[in-house]
């Protein structure tokens, strides 16, 4: 273990060897990384543990510089473990560079089938006794981390003392089609709100879309397309996302000796915002997190999008309507335009066709839950459907919700210590 300091904090790096397939404990193993953080003034004290599960899928745990966001509140009473879920961060990586070690696309898809919430929770339970001596811990799950927390409540509630969920109550039974059928109208509302705030962006977005449709430029091997441009709407799910999107659009064009062109600044910003180089598992596994009932996900976001023709950017240019941005959705074309995903296109197709996904949640066990649970539900959350979340909340015995429109999906980060402080108060019946 390697320990070091940041202002007011002591950090310790942990590396754990866990089975790739927990049903085969004697088989292949992978490495899981976790970063322990404790207040320097309490480093020698016996403290309860809080496990943080990041959103995603496919993102490593956040790298904090000091006691930022919710972390400062957490270390007042907890020893915190920031877990890089399998395949992310410093845990055995899964990407275009490493997956060929598994073999061809079929072998890669079979390997990645072990990278859903069920396996992540088994990792947590494998690790917990090594850190806590067997004591249960508090879990804070953000977004997909909340999905993992609900799986934890379904599969191993004995490992939990408290569960705190922020923007991450999944539907217990919705197919991916249902998720996206609910998502597109929600995304359209977010886009309408953005254009109401920045009406000048309506024409600018049309101009950018028309330029991309005609020229199809590339930036560092990343093909910039109208569909890729629309996917910048993922920014609208964050508290400052509308402003970020506006500033990105405002310097899209530059005059050159050859006429008006997309600026290098804009092209680089678009490439950076839409690249999956840092989180390829998000693209590979995003729809698989909804697979439970024997049906393939089968590129659900792409298929369901056809039910909402207003999202067709090229057709929007034929009329005078706005170009609608999209959001948290993955499409086959992602694996054509992004060099970080291009070698994994066939693997992604095999995952989309897979029919043997096991159920993730146990409604009977959740209905009998005895673990204290509190969940922040962000009203009209762009990424997680509020109606789905509230139905799940009602299905988990004892769960208390805090429904708020003060924050967007990133409230646990953007709200500093307030969101965690509120959830702890809720779960402790202090409010």
The predicted-structure confidence for 315-336, as pLDDT tens digits, reads as follows: 999 999 999 999 889 999 999 9
The predicted-structure confidence for 197-211, as pLDDT tens digits, reads as follows: 999 999 999 999 999
Identified catalytic residue from 194, 279, 331, 409: 409
Is 405 catalytic? The answer is no
Does one domain contain both 169 and 209? no
Average pLDDT value for residue range 127-149:
98
Average pLDDT, the chain: 97
pLDDT recorded at residue 335: 98
Does one domain contain both 226 and 272? yes
Last residue of a domain, one of 299, 334, 353: 353
| pLDDT at residue 218 greater than cutoff 90 | yes
Q: At what angle do helices 241-250 and 264-274 cross, to 10 degrees?
A: 150
pLDDT recorded at residue 88: 98
The residue assigned the tokens 């002591």 is: 10
What is the domain-level CATH number for residue 12? 3.40.50.1820
CA atoms within 13 A on the CB side of 244: 13
CA atoms within 13 A on the CB side of 107: 7
Identified catalytic residue from 24, 44, 356, 429: 356
Residue 230, SS3?
helix
Does one domain contain both 94 and 11? yes
Q: Which residues span the domain enclosing 277?
A: 176-353
The answer to whether 183 and 149 have CB atoms below 8 angstroms apart is no
pLDDT recorded at residue 109: 98
Strand partners, 19: 29
Does one domain contain both 7 and 125? yes
The answer to whether 284 and 108 have CB atoms below 8 angstroms apart is no
Q: At what angle do helices 200-215 and 176-197 cross, to 10 degrees?
A: 120
Average pLDDT value for residue range 350-361:
97
Structure tokens at 273: 């915002």
Does one domain contain both 135 and 203? no
The residue assigned the tokens 């805090």 is: 402
Does one domain contain both 91 and 148? yes
| pLDDT at residue 68 greater than cutoff 80 | yes
Does one domain contain both 124 and 151? yes
The predicted-structure confidence for 1-47, as pLDDT tens digits, reads as follows: 789 999 999 999 999 999 999 999 999 999 999 999 999 999 999 99
Does one domain contain both 215 and 168? no
Does one domain contain both 82 and 199? no
Whole-angstrom CA distances from 405 to 180, 236, 253, 422 are 22, 14, 35, 14
Identified catalytic residue from 91, 114, 118, 143: 143
Residues in CB range of 30: below 8 A, 6 or more apart? 17, 18, 19, 20, 86, 91, 92
pLDDT grade for 354, boundaries at 50, 70 and 90 = very high
Does one domain contain both 169 and 215? no
Is 429 catalytic? The answer is no
Is 143 catalytic? The answer is yes
Average pLDDT value for residue range 110-119:
98
pLDDT recorded at residue 327: 85
Does one domain contain both 212 and 347? yes
Does one domain contain both 416 and 276? no
């Amino acid at each position: 273990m390697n320990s070091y300091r940041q202002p007011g904090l002591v950090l310790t790096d942990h590396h754990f060897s866990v089975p790739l397939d927990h049903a085969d404990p004697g088989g292949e193993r992978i490495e899981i990384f976790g970063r322990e953080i404790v207040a320097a003034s309490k480093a020698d004290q016996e403290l309860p543990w809080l496990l943080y599960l990041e959103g995603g899928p496919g993102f490593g745990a956040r790298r904090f510089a000091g006691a930022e966001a919710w972390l400062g509140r957490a270390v007042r009473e907890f020893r915190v473990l920031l877990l890089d879920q399998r395949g992310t961060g410093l845990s055995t990586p899964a990407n275009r560079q490493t997956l060929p070690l598994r073999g061809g696309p079929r072998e890669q898809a079979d390997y990645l089938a072990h990278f859903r919430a069920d396996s992540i929770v088994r990792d947590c339970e494998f690790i917990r006794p090594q850190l806590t001596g067997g004591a249960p811990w508090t879990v804070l799950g953000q977004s997909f981390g909340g999905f993992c927390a609900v799986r934890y409540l379904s599969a191993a509630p004995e490992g939990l003392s408290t569960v705190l969920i922020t923007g991450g109550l999944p539907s217990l039974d919705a197919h991916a089609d249902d998720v996206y059928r609910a998502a597109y109208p929600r995304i359209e509302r977010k886009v309408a709100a953005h254009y109401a705030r920045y009406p000048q962006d309506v024409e600018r977005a049309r101009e950018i879309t028309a330029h991309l449709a005609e020229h199809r430029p590339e930036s560092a091997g990343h093909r910039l397309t109208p569909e890729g441009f629309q996917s910048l709407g993922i920014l609208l799910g964050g508290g400052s996302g509308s402003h970020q999107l506006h500033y990105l659009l405002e310097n899209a064009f530059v005059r050159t000796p050859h006429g008006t062109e997309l600026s290098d600044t804009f092209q680089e910003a678009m490439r950076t915002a839409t690249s999956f180089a840092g989180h390829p598992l998000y693209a590979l596994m995003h729809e698989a997190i909804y697979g439970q009932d024997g049906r393939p996900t089968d590129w659900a976001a792409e298929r369901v999008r056809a039910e909402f023709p207003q999202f067709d950017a090229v057709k929007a240019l034929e009329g005078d309507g706005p170009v609608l941005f999209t959001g948290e959705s993955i499409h086959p074309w992602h694996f054509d335009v992004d060099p970080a995903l291009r070698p994994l296109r066939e693997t992604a197709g095999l995952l989309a066709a897979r029919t043997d996904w096991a159920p993730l949640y146990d409604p009977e066990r959740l209905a009998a839950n005895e673990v204290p649970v509190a969940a922040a539900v962000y009203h009209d959350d762009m990424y997680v459907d509020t109606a789905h979340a509230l139905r799940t909340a009602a299905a988990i015995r004892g769960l208390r919700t805090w429904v708020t429109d003060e924050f967007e999906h990133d409230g646990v980060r953007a709200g500093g210590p307030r969101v965690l402080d509120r959830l702890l108060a809720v779960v402790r019946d202090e409010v």
